[in-house]
Structure 1
Amino acid sequence: MTANPLNAEAASTKIAALFDTKVAASNAAERVCYEAHLKRGQVRLVHPYEAHFGRKLEPENDGIVQTAVRSHLMMAALGAVIGLAVVGILHRQEIDAVMHSPGLAAGAAIFLGVVFGMLLAGLMTARPDHQLVITPVREAVQHGRWAVLVHPTTPQQCNEALRALRNTTSEVLRTA
């Protein structure tokens, strides 16, 4: 659902709604499927005290792996190009260290660019924005509450799912 070329997940946005009863959660799951035109696999119900609901939160293991590989390769390459560009700029400004050892300067710049690019890719792969959904769902489930998890694949599905869930509860969470 994202225009991010580094992301290989079909449903990168996560939506969750929290409920006190099974009936309310089940009704909300049915409603969001109907109103947002979602397939059953895009909506998951998490039971109170469910121990291993991580797969429901992040069902696309293959997509996550592809995102990790793609982002690390692309960001490493981008970092190398930026490193070379910096050396080029420093060379044009006739900086002594670069002028005397252009090969060493280029090698160091490429190395640092690759390292910083891969660090940034790691941050992107970790998806810290998902913690905005994962943590409250974990806490709610540990306290005997129900959660409905939605994995929209288009912006339209996302908007319709949010609208449908907000009509059922005030506790609706969304990743970026």
Structure 2
Amino acid sequence: MDYLLQGMFNDKSLSKVVGFFARQADADIAVRRLLRLPGMEPGQVRLLGPQHADLRNRDLLSRALEPETEGVFTTFVRTHAIAGLVGSVLGLMAFGYLVATRQPAVLDKPLLAFIAIVGFGTTFGLMLGALNALRPDRIWVVNRVRSALRKRQWVVVAHPVDSHQAKLAQDLLDSSEAQVVRTL
């Protein structure tokens, strides 16, 4: 599943695991412990402090929370193409089922039924692709990070590359005195 999602989004790290700390010393310890996790590399862990609260929103996003900002357009195109294709295939399957079960409305006007069913399937697929590309879960995390920094807290952001590494990072941060949030 991780491979499929990474291919769809063109990102190495799909998930963000974020811990909020009251003290810098606790955040530093968490960073060192995260870097000892299997496969975790220095570029995957970021430490943000109160001094980052004054950064412009774009800088905060690009530096710490979204290290893979290249290819955003490619991600939008890819997610739309895949989701639209899945919607089309599901629409074709629904049309095939309705023809096979000899539904009178479909048999009376097959071209119109085909256009409507496959068209709606494709449209809903594209809409889900757009929602998926916008990643509303990340917007919520970014707002939480911004709020914590304004409250003079320390934030540790981990960018795990797969679901196993995300689980390890979340367990590690949960075992500390941090409040933890996670995307995806």
Aligning the two structures, in what range does the TM-score lie when normalised by the shorter sequence? 0.7 to 0.9
Matched residue, 1:84: 92
1-side partners of 2:111 and 2:181: how far apart? Answer: 51
What is the aligned residue count?
176
Matched residue, 2:40: 38
Matched residue, 2:2: 2
Evaluate the alpha carbon distance shift between residue 89 and residue 164 of structure 1 in structure 2; reply closer, same or farther with a 3 A threshold.
closer
Matched residue, 1:12: 14
Evaluate the alpha carbon distance shift between residue 107 and residue 27 of structure 1 in structure 2; reply closer, same or farther with a 3 A threshold.
same
Evaluate the alpha carbon distance shift between residue 37 and residue 164 of structure 1 in structure 2; reply closer, same or farther with a 3 A threshold.
farther
Evaluate the alpha carbon distance shift between residue 99 and residue 77 of structure 1 in structure 2; reply closer, same or farther with a 3 A threshold.
same
Q: Which letter maps to 1:40?
A: P
Evaluate the alpha carbon distance shift between residue 37 and residue 144 of structure 1 in structure 2; reply closer, same or farther with a 3 A threshold.
same
2-side partners of 1:82 and 1:37: how far apart? Answer: 38
> Do 2:47 and 2:155's aligned partners in 1 also have CA atoms closer than 8 Å?
yes
Task: Find the partner of 1:25 among 27, 33, 40.
Answer: 27
2-side partners of 1:98 and 1:31: how far apart? Answer: 61
Evaluate the alpha carbon distance shift between residue 169 and residue 111 of structure 1 in structure 2; reply closer, same or farther with a 3 A threshold.
same
Matched residue, 1:54: 61
Q: Which letter maps to 1:80?
A: S
Matched residue, 1:173: 181
The normalised TM-score by structure 1 is 0.83
How much does 1:65 deviate? 4.2
Evaluate the alpha carbon distance shift between residue 164 and residue 96 of structure 1 in structure 2; reply closer, same or farther with a 3 A threshold.
closer
SS at match of 2:157: strand
2-side partners of 1:156 and 1:95: how far apart? Answer: 47
CA RMSD of aligned residues (A): 2.4
- Identical columns (%): 31
Structure 2 portions without partners, runs of 5+: none
The 5 A counterparts of 1:153-172 are: 153-172=161-180
2-side partners of 1:12 and 1:98: how far apart? Answer: 42
2-side partners of 1:150 and 1:21: how far apart? Answer: 18
Q: Which letter maps to 1:161?
A: A
The normalised TM-score by structure 2 is 0.80
Evaluate the alpha carbon distance shift between residue 35 and residue 76 of structure 1 in structure 2; reply closer, same or farther with a 3 A threshold.
closer
